[in-house]
Structure 1
Amino acid sequence: MRRPLLSEALLDTIRSRAGGYDASNTFPHEDLADLTAAGYLRAFVPVERGGAGLTLREVAREQMRLAAAAPATALAVNMHLVVTGLAAIQADRGETALDFVLDDAARGEVYAFGNSEAGNDLVMFDSRTRAEPQADGSYRYTGTKIFTSLSPVWTRLATFGRDDTDPDAPLLVHAVVARDAEGIEVLDDWDVLGMRATQSCTTVLTGVRAPADRVHRRLPAGPSGDLFMFSLFAAFEILLAAVYTGIGRRAVELGVAASHRRTSMKNGGRTYAQDPDIRWKVAEAAIVQDGVEIQVESLARDVDELVDHGPLWFPKLVGIKVRAVEGARYVVDQALRVSGGASYGSSGELGRLYRDVLAGIFHPSDEESAHATVANAYLGPLER
């Protein structure tokens, strides 16, 4: 692997700020400035276009490191990396429709991922947002997007909506809109349990125009094996898994440190690192953590090397996200158990990780959707 973009010194600085951003429920502007200066927002941009030219595997590794330092900062920038990453995955396969995203990122544009909608459990396979075609090939979008990370700073929004021009053959139209376009309202409504610094506010679109040259995909409503959908799922699920795997990595470190620091009167003042029950819990957490890290790296490498998993690609992608999130939740729980009551404090790092890791259960694909995807792959669709 090439030298990491993020130095240990930078990660230590970012870690030192994380608690403050969480407590104040504010966006990590200083973190973003430092990451931008390090070239991190250009990680996926090819060298010849002005970027670092990192692979998905390399970016996933960096996201694990960043998430171990500051989960909310990592999750926020993750959405920019998802959009630029899917553009890079497409480009690697000869598809140039999203090359403009890579050029935008090289110029310093910050991308947000504006697809989630309240009450839409079909996620990317349908939309409550209206996409109305215009005579010049542009589209106007009207709808409400939730969980729009990077809300205070994004300059470009990757979004989609439903075109019902032909009611018998509705289309899902994917496009990019600019922050300064008329009809965009970003609400100040982010006050949640964890991942607070992501500032993933609601974005309301009212007739927002996407120019024709920024309308990049029209797909039939419903599941699709189109390259765009594969690239989106690959970037989103693997990078999301990397973030939560990074949380697990840090939890193991904190659990180990607490086990060496805490002493037991029952055992004559020896540290808990010598207690068989504590040793078992730390070992079990490390076993789970090690297994998930290997899986994230392996699947990212398969994407980079254009491995053909055929119809099993989507089960593998949704599966790694579920395993990473559930694994991280388990690891954080074990770390809390070995760290004692002091770790329950709301201002402590481990307590913050406990709140942050819970956010993973709400990201697509959730457990129900993932199990349906895997069941369909192995058992076929449900009979109607």
Structure 2
Amino acid sequence: MTRVSSAARIATAREAVAIARELATEFSAGAAQRDAQRRLPFEEIEQLSSTGLLAVTVPHRFGGADLPPSVVAELTAIIAAADPSIAQIPHSHFVYLNLLRLGASDDLQKRIFGTVLDGGRVANAQSERGGRTIADISTRLTPTGGGFSLDGDKFYATGSLFADTLAVLARLEVETDDHAPGEYVAFIPADADGVELVDDWNGMGQRTTGSGTVRLRGVHVGADDLVARAPAVSGATGYGAFAQLLHVAIDTGIARGALDAAAEFVRSTSRPWFEAGVERAVDDPLLVQRFGELGVDVASAEATLAAAGRSVDRATGFGDPDDIEPDADPVAEASIAVAAAKVVADRVANSVTSALFEVSGTRSAGADLNLNRFWRDARTHTLHDPVRWKYQHIGRYVLRDEKPPLHGVI
């Protein structure tokens, strides 16, 4: 059943950040239990929608706050520190709202943006299994008398179980009167005839993201429900940099959440090592030193994320035009900045979530505490796209002034 809530309207970045912090406090309280029981956060996602946070990127002309990418990244990191799964669920929501902004007709924008302002949610149905690479798409759009028929199987469809609208990536092989062959994103109701949502995600981390299977069998798609993908991902739009920025924000938030959890555990539960000669674990000088090192790591990730966010703002028209040098390529610079931030966040998220146990001691390994969820979440989410290729693009840019490719994943 389609779930559309009534939603509040957010007007400013300050308001959005304050609401995100309030929600993070509430979400954090039940995060460990939800993960342990794999209890999907339907109530929490409804709450997230009702605050208006999921509508903050809706353009002004459609009644939204039109907040910049840097603010969306900040909101994502705040929520990820509390519950990384909840933070990841709206990732594709924001990405596909950006696609609408860049390439959809006014009628489709008005329809979907209006639904989102009322609390509606968009989820992706993009990735597939079985192709030579993840870029191979076998889901097909077949022209019919009254539009198109959509058929295929999608996997890792994060957020689909919570969505009102699915953004389905598919190929059109033949030319029609209004559409050339190529890849399109079809915006369809999540409860449309022929759509089956399967709760079969079994990852070791990010366990409650609803990243299951979507089966599509003869789903009707109107001609006005389609958005061509190529102009957004292969043009100088900043589309890929924005999408990747939110992934960085999730990893950075996980690192912050793990560090905060470790500090709280040491303050409240850990005993000092006997050789330290102190009464409290927090007074162990070696432990203080280690927390200092971890604090620097997390602060570095957060600073790099913030810098990347400002760069994406400039590339997408939200920054101050006077900050852009005459000969600069703001889109290339944003992609490189986000790639660097991704490398840092990947390293820090995985190392800090592991060090949580090092600094907290044996008691922290208790299964009842479920502190390992931070490491499992970091290790799972950082698999999303390999940082080894980020290093390649950064190195080529630094050494040969070679701009990164335009394919939507950097």
Distance, in Å, in 2 between the alignment partners of 1:182 and 1:268 is: 69
1:210 and 2:210 correspond: no
1:11-26 aligned within 5 A: 11-26=24-39
Say if 1:119 and 1:283 are closer, same or farther in 2 by CA, change over 3 A: farther
The offset of 1:254, in angstroms, is 2.2
Say if 1:198 and 1:97 are closer, same or farther in 2 by CA, change over 3 A: same
Distance, in Å, in 1 between the alignment partners of 2:331 and 2:249 is: 23
Distance, in Å, in 2 between the alignment partners of 1:135 and 1:227 is: 35
Say if 1:102 and 1:301 are closer, same or farther in 2 by CA, change over 3 A: farther
Structure 1, residues 148-172: CA drift from partner, whole Å, max 9, x if none?
A: 1223221111121223338xx9622
Distance, in Å, in 2 between the alignment partners of 1:268 and 1:195 is: 40
The 8 Å contact of residues 21 and 78 in structure 2, kept in 1 or not, is answered as: no
Distance, in Å, in 2 between the alignment partners of 1:273 and 1:183 is: 58
The offset of 1:218, in angstroms, is 5.1
Distance, in Å, in 2 between the alignment partners of 1:207 and 1:67 is: 37
User: In the alignment, which of 212, 230, 233 is matched to residue 219 of structure 1?
Assistant: 230
The 8 Å contact of residues 162 and 171 in structure 1, kept in 2 or not, is answered as: yes
User: In the alignment, which of 291, 312, 325 is matched to residue 303 of structure 1?
Assistant: 312
The offset of 1:8, in angstroms, is 4.2
Q: Which moved more, 1:254-263 or 1:142-151?
A: 254-263
Q: Which residue of 1 aligns with 2:4?
A: none
Structure 1, residues 248-298: CA drift from partner, whole Å, max 9, x if none?
A: 112222233334443222222433333343233222221121111112122
Q: Which residue of 2 aligns with 1:273?
A: 282
Q: Which residue of 2 aligns with 1:294?
A: 303
Structure 1, residues 61-98: CA drift from partner, whole Å, max 9, x if none?
A: 1111111111111111223233224545x39xx99686
- What amino acid is aligned across from residue 366 of structure 1 in structure 2? P
Q: Which residue of 2 aligns with 1:366?
A: 386
- What amino acid is aligned across from residue 140 of structure 2 in structure 1? R
The 8 Å contact of residues 68 and 247 in structure 1, kept in 2 or not, is answered as: yes
Distance, in Å, in 2 between the alignment partners of 1:163 and 1:170 is: 5
Q: What TM-score, normalized to structure 2? A: 0.80
1:144-293 aligned within 5 A: 144-165=153-174, 171-217=182-228, 219=230, 225-227=234-236, 230-231=238-239, 233-261=240-268, 262=270, 263-293=272-302
SS in 1 for 2:161: coil
Q: Which residue of 2 aligns with 1:56?
A: 69
- What amino acid is aligned across from residue 243 of structure 1 in structure 2? I
- What amino acid is aligned across from residue 140 of structure 1 in structure 2? S
Distance, in Å, in 2 between the alignment partners of 1:48 and 1:175 is: 23
Q: Which residue of 1 aligns with 2:123?
A: 112
Q: Which residue of 1 aligns with 2:139?
A: 129
The offset of 1:245, in angstroms, is 0.7
The answer for unaligned runs of 5 or more in structure 1 is none
The 8 Å contact of residues 5 and 38 in structure 1, kept in 2 or not, is answered as: no
Structure 1, residues 113-149: CA drift from partner, whole Å, max 9, x if none?
A: 11111244644x441222334455x433322211112
Distance, in Å, in 1 between the alignment partners of 2:154 and 2:114 is: 25
Distance, in Å, in 1 between the alignment partners of 2:388 and 2:139 is: 23
Distance, in Å, in 2 between the alignment partners of 1:347 and 1:139 is: 51
The 8 Å contact of residues 242 and 312 in structure 2, kept in 1 or not, is answered as: no
Distance, in Å, in 1 between the alignment partners of 2:334 and 2:46 is: 36
Q: Which residue of 2 aligns with 1:354?
A: 375
Say if 1:98 and 1:299 are closer, same or farther in 2 by CA, change over 3 A: farther
- What amino acid is aligned across from residue 131 of structure 1 in structure 2? L
Q: Which residue of 2 aligns with 1:139?
A: 148
The 8 Å contact of residues 325 and 360 in structure 1, kept in 2 or not, is answered as: no
The answer for unaligned runs of 5 or more in structure 2 is 1-12, 318-323, 404-410
Sequence identity percentage: 26
Q: Which moved more, 1:321-330 or 1:272-281?
A: 272-281
Distance, in Å, in 1 between the alignment partners of 2:308 and 2:390 is: 16
SS in 2 for 1:287: helix
Distance, in Å, in 1 between the alignment partners of 2:395 and 2:107 is: 32
Distance, in Å, in 2 between the alignment partners of 1:318 and 1:134 is: 42
Count the aligned residue pairs: 369
Distance, in Å, in 1 between the alignment partners of 2:236 and 2:108 is: 12
Distance, in Å, in 1 between the alignment partners of 2:351 and 2:98 is: 29
Distance, in Å, in 2 between the alignment partners of 1:165 and 1:376 is: 38
Say if 1:170 and 1:369 are closer, same or farther in 2 by CA, change over 3 A: farther
Distance, in Å, in 2 between the alignment partners of 1:161 and 1:85 is: 18
The 8 Å contact of residues 100 and 227 in structure 2, kept in 1 or not, is answered as: no
Say if 1:276 and 1:367 are closer, same or farther in 2 by CA, change over 3 A: same
- What amino acid is aligned across from residue 275 of structure 1 in structure 2? D
The offset of 1:370, in angstroms, is 3.3
Distance, in Å, in 2 between the alignment partners of 1:360 and 1:76 is: 12
